[in-house]
Amino acid sequence: MNTITTPRTPTAPEPVAVPAPARRGPSAPRDVGVIRTIAVAVLASDPITGEGTSLGLRRHPGLRLLQDDEFPLADVALLLTTGVTEETMTRLEEFAARSDNPGLGVVLVTESIREHQVLRAVELGLRSVLWRQQCDFDRVLEAVRRVAVGGTDLPPAVQGWLVDGFRSVQRDVLGPRGLTAAGLETREVAVLRLLADGLDTADIARELSYSERTIKNIVSGMMTRFGFRNRTHAVVHAIRSGVF
C-alpha cells in the first residue's frame, strides 16, 4: 500500500498574512474568484489548530468562515489533520453527504495519506493536498482560493496515483465492458471519429463493416442516452471528453 509521509521539521511555520487583492477601477476586468465571497468550513483533528486557522482566515477579505450549522453551504472544506485515518475519511464522507453544494472543493493539509484514501477523497471533492510541514498560512490561503474557482493543487506523487487509478479503471472495469471514461461505448467512439472526419452513414457502415441500419441505431442510442441535439453535438462531446 503506497503511503506518502512528509518529514517533520522542528517547528511549524508561523501564519503569514496575505494581502487582499488590489481594488480595480470600474472599467477594469474583474478576476475570477475575487468577485464573490468564498464560504469556508474548517475541519481540524484538534481544536487548537482549527481555531487558530479560522482566526487567521477571518482576517482576509473575500472569505466567510462558517459555523457548524452552516457547513452545508461551504464552497471549500479545509481539512487539517496530522495523518489521514479511517476516522478522517468517515468525517469527510459525512461532511460531503451534508453538503448542498455540488461544486464543493476540499483542501487537505496533512503529514501523510495513502493511495486508496486519495482515490476515495477525490470522489468527495478533494482538489488540493498540502504537506503540513512544508506549507505556511500563505500556501493554505492560496489553495483555498484556487479550489474555490475550480482549480487544483496536488503534489506530483498524488497526481501519479490518480493517473494510475484512472488507467486501472479503464483497463479493468470499463474496457472489458466496451466502455470509455466518457460513458461512450467503444463502437460509438468509432462512429463518432468517422463522423468527425465528415463521413456519412453509408460511408461509416462500409468502413466499420456494419449495416447502415446498425449505424443509425448506434447514433440514435447515443442521442437518446446523452440528450445530444444532433450529430455535431455528439462529436463535440466526444472531443471535449478526450476520447479522440
Contacts of 118 (CB under 8 A, 6+ apart): 126, 129, 158, 161, 162
38-44 and 105-110: which strand pairing? unpaired
Q: Quickly state the pLDDT bin for 197 (edges 50, 70, 90).
A: very high
Class of domain 178-241: mainly alpha
The torsion of the CA quartet 222, 223, 229, 234, rounded to 10 degrees, works out to 10
The grid coordinates listed for 119 are: 482515490
The grid coordinates listed for 4 are: 506518502
Is the confidence at residue 1, as pLDDT, over 70?
no
pLDDT digits (tens, 9 = 90+) for 144-176: 999 999 999 999 989 888 878 767 766 776 667
pLDDT digits (tens, 9 = 90+) for 81-133: 999 999 999 999 999 999 999 999 999 999 999 998 998 999 999 999 999 98
Class of domain 34-167: alpha beta
Maximum C-alpha span of the chain: 71
pLDDT, mean over the chain: 84
Q: Where are the domains of the chain?
A: 34-167, 178-241
